[in-house]
Structure 1
Amino acid sequence: MPTPSLRTENLTIRFGGHVAVDHVTCAFQPGELTVIVGPNGAGKTTWFNLVSGQLKPSEGKVFKGEHDITGQSPSARAKAGIGRAFQLTNLFPKLSVLENVRLVVQARRGVGPRALSRAAALTDIRDEAMGYLESARLADVADYPAAALPHGDQRKLEVAMLIAMQPDIFMFDEPTAGMSVDEAPVILDLIAAIKKDMAKTILLVEHKMDVVRALADRIIVLHNGELVADGKPDEVMALPIVREIYLGVGAEDEE
């Protein structure tokens, strides 16, 4: 068995007497898209926050490859190849749409202000950033301030920025939340394109079952902070415990 791209070992966090994530152990491989599902309050976003470094665990560890990254900051994890898109947009609101993506490209390349004084370097970075905007269908608003975009376009911009980071591991927390039926397919197409790269690992928190069925190679179910199911989509969604806690279907409903 190859070394997982990402692994959590007995990952736990307590807030006072409440255990929000309870000894979750799981591993993920390159080329795999895993959807994390569960009812509200199940611990999905909290587990994401532990993996990406926004929260420190009470117990347990996080590994990227063979490296223990439990003590690393969110920025260090991002540099190591863990890319995170949040449930709420996380942009530079006063900068233009293009500048938001350009800064990501510049940081990834390690290009400083002096290098940007060279026209060739500036053009190359701008062209790469525009490519990401075109894939997210945002090229027409490249010069708009990010704050001026409607919510759906802000979500698309954040995904474009995440792709521009070129991480090994992509983490999406309800990427289509608040988006219209017409807007959501753009995000899903971007995720589907990432999925074609078998070197990438994708984790997706989602509650829309059409999205889950369209994209998932594997489903993990959290309930009250515990990992209660893990496997192929059809197998997991057919489990009685999953139908009861996630779909609200009990035995009496199937009679």
Structure 2
Amino acid sequence: MSQPSLVTENLTIRFGGHVAVNAVSCAFNPGELTVIVGPNGAGKTTYFNLISGQLTASEGRVLKGGEDITRLAPSARSHRGIGRAFQLTNLFPALTVLENIRLAVQARSGHGWRFFSPASRLGALKQEADQFLQATKLSDKAHMAAAELPHGDQRKLEVALLMAMEPDIYMFDEPTAGMSLDHTPDVLNLIATLKEDKTKTILLVEHKMSVVRALADRIIVLHNGELLADGPPDEVMQSQIVRDVYLGSSGEDAA
């Protein structure tokens, strides 16, 4: 079996006397989409923040490809292949859709954030950016400012930015939150397409069971910051303690 792409070992964070994430150990593998579920306050987003570097662990470690990245800043983790999308879109609102994606391609290629580059280089960057526009069905909105996009298209643009960075590990925090029923399938289809690349690892925080059923290879359940369950979707969702206490007796749309 191949080496896990990402491992958390006894990952813990305390805020004063409150333990928000308590000794969570998990290994995540290439080609696997893991959905993290649990009630509000369970520690899902805090756990994500520990992995991506927005928070620093009180105890434990985060390993990426065997390398200890526990003390690295979010930017350094990004350069090592961890891509994170947030519940709130994280875009350059005044720039066009194309410019947002071009800057992501430019950053990933190591040329920094310079606008004043040779025309040939800009042409190559635009050509590459166009591929991500097409993949996310945003080509017809390429010259709109990101701030002018409907919420659903902003979420698609955020996925496009992640794709342009070409991470090994994709992290999505409730990617369909606040989206209309019309736009939700577009984002889910994008994630499903990413899942086809078996070199990638995908982590997804989600509370909609319809999304979980559609995408998950594996579910982990957090409660009070602790790992309650970890396994195949059918096995976890049929667990009585998970259904009764954390997902609700119906198992539908609990946070």
3-state secondary structure, aligned to 2:156: helix
* Correspondence 1:1-255 to 2 at 5 A: 1-112=1-112, 117-249=117-249
**Gap change, CA 1:117 and 1:57, over 3 Å in 2:** closer
Distance 1:58 1:115 in 2: 40
TM-score under structure 1 length normalisation? 0.95
Q: Report Cα offsets for 1:42-66 as digits up to 9, x if no partner.
A: 0000000000000001111000011
What SS is found at the alignment partner of 2:228? strand
**Cα displacement string for residues 80-108 of structure 1 (whole angstroms, at most 9, x for unaligned residues):** 00000001111111111111110000011
How well do the aligned residues superpose, as a CA RMSD in angstroms? 1.5
Query: How many residue pairs were aligned?
Result: 250
Q: Which SS does the other structure have where 2:20 is aligned?
A: strand
Whether the 8 Å contact between 1:89 and 1:158 is mirrored in structure 2 is yes
Residues 138 and 210 from structure 1, CA distance in 2 versus in 1: closer, same or farther, beyond 3 angstroms?
same
Q: What is the TM-score when the length of structure 2 is the normalising length?
A: 0.95
d(CA) in 2 for partners of 1:187, 1:114: 30
User: Which secondary structure state, in structure 2, belongs to the residue aligned with residue 23 of structure 1?
Assistant: strand
Identity of aligned residues (%): 70
Deviation at 1:113, TM superposition (A): 7.2
**Cα 1:114–1:182 shift into 2, 3 Å:** closer
- Could you tell me which runs of 5 or more consecutive residues in structure 2 were left unpaired when the two chains were aligned: 251-255
Residue identity in the other structure for 1:143: H
Q: Deviations over 1:215-254 (max 9, x none)?
A: 100000001100000000000000011101222229xxxx
- 4+ runs of 1 displaced by more than 3 Å? 112-117
Counterpart amino acid of 2:170? F
Structure 2 counterpart SS, 1:27: strand
